[in-house]
Amino acid sequence: MIRIEDLHVEIGDREVLRDINLHIGEGETHVLMGPNGSGKTTLIRTIMGFADYHVTEGAIVYRGRDITNLPIHERARYGIGLMFQRPPTIAGLKLGKMLVATSGNRPEEVAEYAAAMNMAEFLERDINAGFSGGEIKRSEVLQLMIQQPDFVMLDEPESGVDLENISLIGSAIAKLLEKDRHIVSRHKSGLIITHTGYILDYIEADAGHMMCDGEIRCHGNAREMLQLIKAKGYRECIECKKI
């Protein structure tokens, strides 16, 4: 589905990512871990194509096509979707209006999905204005449900979400990733950033990657890696340099 090759990324004139290699196959979900400030968000925002993130070396290949220099909306139209860690507020723009604008020809789905995500009352509110942490996550998942991306990137989907909402969000994401389908008929892929791994109670991960200081230092089984981090902290995991 997506292949990242020897990627180097600068923000301003500072190199934030170095020599990133990652391959996610069709139907697979991978987990990205790593300490605060290690570069996880930077990686997925670079994949989405935001202007502040300059690729100085390497390539992002999506479904066989080099998308390294494509504008954001073309990546989105090819099927890449992103759940933001901290989305901006847009004064005056109602969530419902935005959903209709991005839904293509399916405005009727907006009400249905909004109800499913418990967001019906938010459709008339300005996007993200005064939304609580959990409400932002629900709104992000709702936007992805409308968008139906093939490759879904989720930036800390469970952080700041209470138990009841984790189950709501977790199940919705599982559905986005076609986890209800057998692997052979599953075509959606995912990359999930998580610190706690709670989301893995709802979504089975196929692999994990550890990022540290702008590099991916370790690949392995996501649950085992998380357990190790929980038990021994990041240091041990980083120092082992299994890669």
Partner 1 sequence: MQKDIEELESLSVEDRKRLAISGLELDSLNRCGSFFQIDQEIVHMSCEYEGIEVLTLEGALAKHEWLEQYYWKLVQKDKDEYTRFVADQKHPKGYVVIAKKGSKNILPLQTCLFLAHESIQHVHNIIIAEEGAELHLITGCASSASTEHGAHYGVTEFYVGKNARISTTMIHTWGENIEVYPRSAAKIEENGTFLSNYVAMSPVKNVQMYPVAELVGEHAVARFNSVVVAMPGSCLDLGSRTILSANNTSAELISRAITRGGTVIARAHILGEVEDTRGHIECKGLILEDGIIHAVPEIEGWVTGTELSHEAAVGKIAHEEIEYLMSRGLDEDEATATIIRGFLDVKIEGLPEMLQKQIDAAIDAAESGF
Q: Which stretches of the chain bind partner 1, using CB under 8 A?
A: 48, 50-51, 71-73, 75-77, 81-82, 84, 87-88, 90-94, 97-98, 101-102, 104, 126, 143, 146-147
Q: Which helix (H) or strand (E) holds 227?
A: helix 222-239
- On whether the CB atoms of residues 122 and 135 are closer than 8 A, the answer is yes
Helices 133-147 + 95-102 axis angle, to 10: 20
Binding of residue 37 to ligand ATP (CB under 6 A):
yes
Nearer to partner 1, 113 or 202 (CB): 113
Nearer to partner 1, 123 or 228 (CB): 123
Distance CA 213, CA 210 (A): 10
Member of 27, 34, 79, 170 binding ligand ATP (CB under 6 A): 34
Binding of residue 137 to ligand ATP (CB under 6 A):
no
The span of 39-47, 137-145, 162-170, 222-230 binding ligand ATP (CB under 6 A) equals 39-47
By CB under 5 A, the residues from 20 to 59 that bind Mg ion are 41
Nearer to partner 1, 42 or 143 (CB): 143
- On whether the CB atoms of residues 156 and 192 are closer than 8 A, the answer is no
Nearer to partner 1, 102 or 167 (CB): 102
CB of 81 to ligand ATP, least distance (A): 18
Write the single-letter amino acid at 228.
L
Residues with Cβ within 8 Å of residue 70, at least 6 apart in sequence: 49, 78
124: left (phi over 0), alpha (psi -120 to 50) or beta: alpha
Binding of residue 194 to ligand ATP (CB under 6 A):
no
Distance CA 67, CA 69 (A): 6
Q: If binding means CB under 6 A, how many residues of this protein chain bind ligand ATP?
A: 12
Nearer to ligand ATP, 38 or 139 (CB): 38
User: Of the candidates 57, 135, 61, 52, which has an alpha carbon nearest to the alpha carbon of residue 95?
Assistant: 135
130 binds, among Mg ion, partner 1, ligand ATP, none (CB under 5 to 8 A by kind): none
Query: Which residues contact Mg ion by CB under 5 A?
Result: 41
